[in-house]
């Protein structure tokens, strides 16, 4: 039996009868053998196409994984290279927090770092850093909508 006889048999093609007919010298036997060979050729072609498809799917999945890794690395690289204006704002936040927590802390320092934290550039940078899991997540203070799990 050939490689795909079981598959052809599963489709209901009577292989035994075909083989019996092949032994006869009648035109029906020759036609049956040709039909059988054509079916086998179609199966082999379909199996080959399926194997190629599966191989290409595996290669495509590897490329997806590589692309995802590149995207994350590109995002991290962009996040770690903020603009000059953002660096100034972040530096201002640090200085004002240090002054506010120091012995001569002043309410204006608190207002300054709170306002800087509301800046759209700072908020976007914080959100992106949190999404990339590069920053700590704020604790939930019990108010709805605060903190992320």
The helix/strand/coil state of 65 is helix
pLDDT of residue 121: 92
Residue entry with tokens 């019990």: 142
CA distance 50 to 56: 10
CA distance 136 to 102: 24
pTM: 0.47
Are 15 and 1 within 8 A, CB to CB?
A: yes
CA distance 64 to 131: 20
CA distance 31 to 14: 14
pLDDT of residue 149: 46
pLDDT of residue 118: 92
pLDDT of residue 46: 84
Residue entry with tokens 């050729």: 41
Give the residue ranges of the chain where pLDDT is below 50.
1, 18, 20-21, 148-149
* Residue (of 102, 92, 98) closest to 122 by Cα position: 92
- Going from the C-alpha of 107 to that of each of 72, 116, 118, the distances in angstroms are 40, 14, 17
Residue entry with tokens 């199996």: 47
pLDDT of residue 123: 92
pLDDT of residue 101: 92
Residue entry with tokens 């590149």: 70
Write down the domain spans for the chain: 5-79, 84-131
């Amino acid at each position: 039996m050939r490689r795909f006889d079981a598959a052809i048999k599963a489709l209901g093609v009577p292989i035994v009868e075909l083989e019996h007919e092949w032994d006869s010298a009648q035109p029906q036997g020759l036609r049956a053998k040709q039909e059988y060979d054509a079916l086998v050729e179609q199966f082999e072609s379909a199996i080959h196409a399926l194997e190629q498809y599966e191989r290409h799917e595996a290669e495509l999945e590897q490329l997806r994984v590589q692309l995802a890794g590149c995207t994350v690395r590109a995002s991290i690289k962009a996040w770690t290279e903020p603009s000059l204006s953002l660096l100034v704002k972040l530096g201002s936040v640090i200085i004002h927090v240090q002054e506010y927590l120091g012995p001569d802390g002043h309410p204006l320092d608190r207002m300054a770092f709170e306002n800087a934290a509301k800046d759209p550039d700072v908020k976007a940078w914080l959100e992106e850093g949190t999404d990339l899991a590069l920053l700590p997540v704020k604790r939930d203070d019990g108010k709805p909508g605060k903190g992320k799990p």
